[in-house]
Structure 1
Amino acid sequence: MSGGMATDLRGFVYPLASVQHRYQWQLDILQGKLAAVQAELLAEQGRLDELKQQMAVQAAHISKALQQRMNPLVHQRSIAYLVQCNGQIQEQEQRLSLLAEQRQEIRQECIKQQQRLELTEQHRLRCLEDYIAVEQVRQSNEADGDWIARSVWKERMDAPQIHVMPKLEGKA
C-alpha cells in the first residue's frame, strides 16, 4: 500500500474462494492417500526384508547340512521351501513395484493440485491488489471531498458578516 492510508480489507470478497477451498480440500485428500500408500509401501518393504532374511537363514542351514551329509528327503523339502520363498519374494517385489507406481501417480496428482492451488492464490492476490487500488482511490476522493467541504465551510465562517439592517417603517 502506498500513501499513508490504511485500506480496510473487510469489504474484499474473492469470487473464486469456493474454488480455492475445493482445491485445498482435494490436495488434502491426495496427501492423505499419498501418506497411506507410503505407509503401505514401508510395511510391504518390511515384509520383503523378512522374506529375504528367512530365505537367507534357510539357505545357510541347507549349506551347513549339505556338509554333514543331509538326508535326501530333508534336502528336497529344504529346496522346495527355498523355491517357495523365492516365489513369495518375487510376488512381494511385484507388489512393491505396483505400490511405487501408485505412489508416483499420486505424487504427480499432488503436484498438479498444488500448482492449481498456487495459481488460484496468485489470482486472489492480484484481485486483492486491484481491490486495494480501487479502495485507495475511493478513500482519496472521499478525503478530497471532505477537504473541499471543510474549506468552503471555513471560508464562510471567516468571511466578514454583513448585517442587513431592517427597514424602519414610518420614519423618513
Structure 2
Amino acid sequence: MMVDALFYLLSLGLIVASLSVALSPYPVRSILSLIGAFVLTSVLWLSIGAEFLALALIFVYVGAVMALFLFIVFMINIDHLKSHISRYMMMGMISLLLVSFLMIIWRAYGVLPNNMLAPITDSSNTRTIGVRLFQEYGLEFEYIAMILLSAMVAAIALVGKRDSQAKYQNIRQQMDRREEDCITWMKP
C-alpha cells in the first residue's frame, strides 16, 4: 500500500513537472522543471529495480545535458520565437494527438505488451540493457544517435548566428591591451 502511494505521488509530481516544462513561458524555468522531471523519473526507476538507468539518467542528462541546455538558452536570442508561438503550439498539439492515437491503436492490436515492467531475465540490469540495446534495438539506437547529432548541429547553428544588436568578444582588442589600461586590485 505504501509503495502504491509513493508511486502515485511520484507520478503526480512527474506530470506536474512535465506540464511545467511544456507550458512555462520562461525557458530557464522549463529547464529547471525538466531537471525535476528527470530526478522524479530516476526515483521511479529505482523503485522498479533499474538502478543503472536511474543513475545514468542523473549523471548523463541532469549533469551534462541540462548544463548544455542552460548554456544554449543563455546564448541564443529567443525573443523572435515569441511571435511564432501559436504556430509552434499547433504543431505540438498535432504531434501529441498523433502519438496518442498511435499508442491507442498499438495497444488495441496487441503490439505493445500488457506488462512492460516484468523482469526480462535473472541477469544483471546492465548486462540485460546492453544485450537488448545493441542486439535487438541496434537500428533504433542508430536512429536516436542521428537525431541527437542533428540536434547538436542545429544548436551550434543557432548559436553561430550574428546579431547586429549583440555585443561580441573582440580577440584582437584583448590581445593588444596594455598594462596601463588594466585594473589592478593590489599595488606591489
Give the alignment's TM-score, normalised by structure 1. 0.22
Name the structure, 1 or 2, with higher relative contact order (CA <8 Å, separation 6+).
Answer: 1
| Higher Cα Rg, which structure | 1
Give the alignment's TM-score, normalised by structure 2. 0.20
